[in-house]
Amino acid sequence: MKSALKVGVALALVLLSAMSAEAAQTYCEATVSERLDRLNVDPSDIRRIYYEAQRHVGRNNDRVFRILAWVSLRSCKGYLVVDMSPTCRVRQVYGRGACDLGGAVETW
């Protein structure tokens, strides 16, 4: 049983290292949806969500270190950003431009 778990974890890490923006969307969509629900964002207010998988690129390393979900809302100018780990754990949520959800999030 332990070896099957180790193989599963290793496979997940390999898949995360090769993650594209499309894979990040599929993988993290439920987390972003849950966080938007917690922030009381009405689904009809969402114009578009764009996912960005940010990578460390080095001599022996090319891995995803952060996934960003850029949420464009009809109710504000700018974006609401959900910053996540490669395993879709939310690190922080912040606004860009004039998108602070009425003071619910800080803007950068």
Number of domains observed in the structure of the chain: 1
- Residue 10 has a CB neighbour count (10 Å cut-off) of 10
The per-residue DSSP string of 61-81 comes to -EEEEEEEEEEEETTSEEEEE
In a domain? residue 108? no
- What is the residue range of 86's domain? 2-103
What sections of the chain are H helices per DSSP?
A: 2-17, 21-38
CATH of the domain at 83: 3.10.450
In a domain? residue 55? yes
For residue 2, name the pLDDT band (cuts at 50, 70, 90).
low
State pLDDT tens for residues 69-94: 999 999 999 999 999 999 999 999 99
Q: Average model confidence (pLDDT) for the chain?
A: 83
For residue 3, name the pLDDT band (cuts at 50, 70, 90).
low
For 18, which DSSP code? T
Question: Can you give the pTM of this predicted structure?
Answer: 0.77
CB–CB of 93/103 below 8 Å? no
In a domain? residue 86? yes
